[in-house]
Structure 1
Amino acid sequence: MVPACEISLLFALICATGLTISVAAGQEGARPEVVVSQGRLQGTQARVKGTDRLVNVFLGIPFAKPPVGSLRFAPPEPPEPWTGVRDATSYPPFCPQDLTFLRRIQKTWKEKHGPLRTSEDCLFLNIYTPADSDKKTKLPVMVWIHGGNFIFGGASRFDGSALSAYEDVVMVIIQYRLGLLGFFSTGDEHARGNWAYLDQIAALQWIQKNIEHFGGNPGSVTIFGVSAGSVSVSALVLSPLAKGLFHKAISESGTAHLVSGTLSSVVAQKTAKLYACETTSSVAIVHCLRQKTEEEMVFNSSLGQSSNIPGLKEVGDRASIISTIEFLQPWLSVPPEVLPVIINEYLGDTDDSAELRDGFLDLLGDVAVVMPSLETLNYHRGSGAATYLFEYQHRPSLYRDTKPAYVKADHADEVAFIFGGPYLAGDIRLRDEVTEEEKHLSRTLMKYWANFARNGNPNGEGLAEWPSYNLDEGYLEINLEQKKAKQLKKKRVEFWTKIVPEKIKEKSAENKKEHGEL
């Protein structure tokens, strides 16, 4: 395990088809070139709104061999060299996935992308670096690990040019294998699993070897991500395989508490049967699955069937919400007899539909994100490392016609502002329909994040003070205006760390007594 004290941490909680796309050139004829370990690359230049500063952009750089054939369900291998000049002006394909998820996100969040395409040959990264930087002065490096529940997303959803131009950093956005292709395991040496995490480590190794050629400092690398990307950040902080590959970490809504990561041998057997593969041995299973097409690995209809899990739209009254909580009891990691205590805490005795909905959503958020995050944060703080916490509270103005009024700040809402969405001018657009206050918010978040990448401390001139997360449990509330606060969700933390364990202990003692009497 990597000693956590080696890595500064900034932690977040949120209150709630075959075409190639090229990045918009910022200056006609500008074609920057760079030599990396595999050969020469030629990129392009991009502009952002509000500044004349140009950014050199290099897209679709391979950091590993294509994970196809015998490399499907295998650790990534170093990329092959090339001869001549490799074009690095087109966005790489996404890793195999159901693109329906991204299309829905684009509609809801009003993102603007070009046509989407996928390929199993997808282990690429994109790099953005200030065009006018002094190559002798190595810049801090920020490495983005995208989210998407480990089943969708990719590097080319994002554009690092605004962060690079405004904050003088080198931005790197990486991809990794998803879904079965990213995590399938037989539970033995024939397919150990966690290929997605190994891809991320391979990307970080490539960055260490090559980022100086882009003006970056390999001794100042910050990894950051949201959702599944945040879970990845948390896992990489703990992994001995990632030791020395980065120096700071920003985790936004997700920890390694949330996933087991590797599909077990039992699941592997079930998966093999769904694909009509022999299950006599791990060798037979892996051989069979390697013969399947990319489309089969993503769109096998049997894998898409879900259990009878109630949807939120179905849980409108008290009885149905309680029924849903009872259904989720194994996920809550508490014995059934303790459920009434939890129901009373979050629902009380109300029958009001809005209060019931809010209580239910609070429960889901606390169990899935808040409590695991605070537990991780306290562990990290205890190691002596510099640690910071924020709660994001701003409801984006675009929600006025895309989400109901009760949705305030939602999962991953901060990401577009951190990437300088209002200032992007290329093919990729993130939150370009904003108010003036939101433009200011975006600049503020870019400064906080870049300051942390530079110094391990988000504070800086003109910014509201962000207290470190020490014994006072200070944190920053981020909205159109920022303010410091203490002891996030104190009452609920006490409930989950004191009351629930006490109730579990009491119920366990009662059960033992009853069995003893029998």
Structure 2
Amino acid sequence: MIGIRNCLLALVPVLLAAGVSGQDEFPLVETSLGFIGGSYGADGFTEQFFGIQYANVPERFARSEVIDEPFEDDYYNASSFGPKCWQENADPTEDEYSEFDCLVLNIYRPTFPDGEEPLSTMVWIHGGSLISGAGEDDDGTYLSLLQNVIVITINYRLGVLGFIAQDEDGTGGLNGMDDQINALKWINQHIESFGGTNSSITIFGESSGGDSVTVLSVSPLAYGLFQRAIVMSGPAGLGWRPFKPDKGWEVTESTLAHHGAASIEALKSVDDFPAQQIVTFSPEFEYLEAFPDFAQMIDSKYTIDGLVLSDRPHTLYTNPDNINPEAMMIGSNSYDGTLGLSDPSFMNGFVLDEAMRSVFGDDLGDAIFAAYNPNDPPYAGFANATYAATINIEGDYQVTCPTRELAAKAAASGYEGPVYLYNYQHFFPGDLNALFVGDDVDVNRDGWASHASETFVLFGTDIGEAFGFPFFDNATIAMSEELMARWATFAKTGDPNLPEYATWTSMSNTGISTPNEEGAAKNVPWLVFRDGTSAMVDDTETKASQCDLFFESYMQNEGNVEEGGIPPPEESSPDVEDVIGMEEASPDEEASPEE
């Protein structure tokens, strides 16, 4: 990134004087398990320890166990990333994968820490719908170096191997998140050897990583393992919810049938069922494949197991005694709906108002269409206004409104810690979803932030630099500097405020109206990140009224959690499949792209 590179160049004389030119061949750390040897990054300004195995998996579908045996020969080579956990679309010709040895973590720390106090630690939990991804996908180098923190990224088991319920009680349905807890246990035991302290650990994650943070924040097994939590576009609860045990077992039975296994015990056979073959759930439960499923209550592909999680997070957050962290940051992106709708090809012959009626029923569907009318701002400025409005509906339904509700529930529960709410609206030219949709929608404008686009900015990862086309313009450089500073300051102190930026008010200090049967939370201010800067915004009238509409749907489903999905629409409404085949309605024709 241009800004970071200039920063490093400015630091070179100082750091060289401090001894970079004469540093050891590789960094070496002594732990209670033995010595760990790593490598240098950022031209010697960071120390990296990759692929450290933190837990063993004794057998398929078993809970992992934290490693406490001394290293062989008293030494662990942490100079390269370890194997990834088996996952959908894995390509073993490109990367190394493992079922039993993939529980590894990666540590980034500054070579020359600023000050003598122990460093705060930020533990990143990657996203990927709990079916894909790895800790190595996100580079903690710049966040660690520029903010004087330790950054740790982790692997955890995915898909069937990490989240299948093994009986009608949900046993094993959260083994992947149990892995995350074991990573935190390892970190607590050994972070002092890396210059950190177990009294200042923050977990943060995006999408299903944020979902994981939401769960760990109310898991009794994670109590005391971290002090602060940051949930980025992943609020488990109203929008994404875990299966109840009986529903989880239904998923298991379908998955067993799909893979031709007579029982869970049969599926444990590594010889009969190789990991690469069984890592996926039954296609029947893949909810993000196409538009017709977008408005269903998105089941998060994990099951309440009675161990890691005792109930739905949406319920647990109403009791402050359940909330583990001392402080929380929770937020969403302006167009998180690109999570399931990054390909606009489904728009061919699509009619938004008819689709809303088919999914939500006539009255509620009409009200939702009116609240997100493609002919109104901000959608009218897009080349395909219908696509933009549809993305916003999905994003609000799945992420933004549940995020507001989760934050409001925590803040109003009697929880004594601060709750900071944000909405990220900064567009940058490297927005992957924006690149994917190409000319089908004009997204090169302020206010568009696709799902996960903020992670590149937070980590300072200029994805275009490798191709000779840096995507970080001046506004994005400023945005990156602010996100890094606020996230790291929160990790150090529990307060993301800094003198050079707008004051961020905690929800705990506002007169919010709690979500209830009467509708969504009211008087909910949030910090908006946009155009390279930030500002507190009271978006109550607009966003609360939109979330009110979805809240009616959420409440309808309170008694139908085991079913998953919105209650059947009124008989007068057409099926979604019929809607997809209809001609475009005249109100949207002007906003549609040319053939």
Query: What's the TM-score once normalised by structure 1's chain length?
Result: 0.77
Q: Does 1:83 align with 2:72?
A: yes
Change (3 A) 1:490 1:181: farther
Out of 214, 237, 260, the residue aligned to residue 234 of structure 1 is 214
Cα distance in 2 between the residues matched to 1:432 and 1:27: 32
Of all paired residues, the percent bearing the same amino acid is 28
Aligned-partner Cα distance in 1 for 2:396–2:242? 19
* Matched position secondary structure for 2:160: helix
2:527 aligned to 442, 457, 476, which one?
A: 476
For 1:259, the equivalent position in structure 2 comes to 241
Alignment deviations for residues 153-211 of structure 1 (CA, whole Å, 9 cap, x no partner): 11111111111111110111111111111101123479432111100100011111110
Change (3 A) 1:26 1:123: farther
**Where in structure 2 are the equivalents of 1:88-99 lying within 5 Å?**
88-99=78-89
Check whether the contact 1:422–1:431 (CA below 8 A) recurs between aligned residues: no
User: Is 2:372 the partner of 1:346?
Assistant: yes
Q: Which residue of structure 2 lines up, in the alignment, with residue 36 of structure 1? A: 31
Is 2:409 the counterpart of 1:379? Answer: yes
Deviation at 1:92, TM superposition (A): 1.5
Residue deviations 1:202-236 (CA, integer Å, cap 9, x gap): 00111111101001111011110100000011111
How many Å separate the matches in 2 of 1:62 and 1:454? Answer: 26
**Residues 1:499 and 1:35: Cα distance change in structure 2 (over 3 Å):** closer
Specify whether residues 461 and 91 from structure 1 end up closer, same or farther in structure 2 by C-alpha distance, changes over 3 A only.
Answer: same
Displacement of 1:397 in angstroms is 2.0
Q: Which residue in the other structure is 2:50 paired with? A: 59
What residue is the counterpart of 2:491 in the other structure? 453
The structure-2 alpha-carbon separation of the partners of 1:190 and 1:253, relative to structure 1 and needing over 3 Å to count, comes to closer
How far is the alpha carbon of 1:429 from its aligned partner?
Answer: 10
Q: Which residue does the alignment assign to 1:442?
A: 480
1:499 Cα shift? 9.1
The code of the aligned residue for 1:259 comes to: R
The match for 2:189 is 209
In 1, Cα distance between equivalents of 2:47 and 2:272: 40
**Residue of structure 2 equivalent to 1:392:** 424
Q: 1:197 aligns with which of 177, 180, 192?
A: 177
Unaligned 5+ runs, structure 2: 1-19, 293-340, 512-522, 557-595
SS at match of 1:449: helix
Find the counterpart in structure 2 of residue 118 from structure 1. 97
Question: Which one of the candidate residues 362, 367, 385 is aligned to 1:355?
Answer: 385
Superposition map of 1:213-292 within 5 A: 213-257=193-237, 258-260=240-242, 264-279=248-263, 282=264, 284-288=265-269, 291-292=272-273
| Alignment correspondent of 1:370 | 400
Cα distance change, pair 178–473 in 1 and its aligned pair in 2 (3 A): same
- State which drifts further: 490-499 or 214-223: 490-499
CA distance in 2 between counterparts of 1:500 and 1:305 reads: 24
Deviations 1:431-452 (A, max 9, x none): 9542233223212211111111
Which amino acid counterpart does residue 403 of structure 2 have in structure 1?
A: S
Alpha-carbon shift at residue 487 of structure 1 (Å): 2.8
Q: What is the Cα deviation at residue 117 of structure 1? A: 3.2
Output the amino acid matched with 1:416. Answer: F
Greater shift in the superposed pair: 80-89 or 155-164:
80-89
Report the CA distance between 1:134 and its aligned residue.
7.5
| Partner deviation per Cα, 1:420-478 (whole Å, 9 max, x = no partner) | 225999xx999954223322321221111111111111112322332323336332221
Structure 2 residue matching 1:187: 3-state secondary structure: coil
1:464 to 494, 499, 502: 502
Aligned with 2:449 (options 409, 416, 431): 409
Does the 8 Å CA contact 1:145/1:226 hold for their aligned counterparts? yes
SS of match in other structure, 1:414: helix
Matched residue SS, 1:369:
helix
Aligned partner of 2:137 in structure 1 is 157
Shift of 1:240: 1.1
1:217–1:424 distance in 2 versus 1, CA, 3 Å:
farther
| Aligned-pair Cα RMSD in Å | 3.7
Distance 2:546 2:503 in 1: 30
Using the alignment, how far apart are the partners of 1:26 and 1:416 within structure 2?
A: 30
Q: Shift in Å at residue 401 of structure 1?
A: 5.5
Which residue number in structure 1 is paired with residue 16 of structure 2?
none
Letter in 1 for 2:86: P
| Structure 1 unaligned spans of 5+ | 1-24, 104-113, 330-334, 506-518
Cα separation, 2, equivalents of 1:450 and 1:390: 16
Higher relative contact order (CA 8 A, sep 6+): 1
Structure-2 separation of matches of 1:242 and 1:403: 40
CA contact (8 A) 1:147 1:230 kept: yes
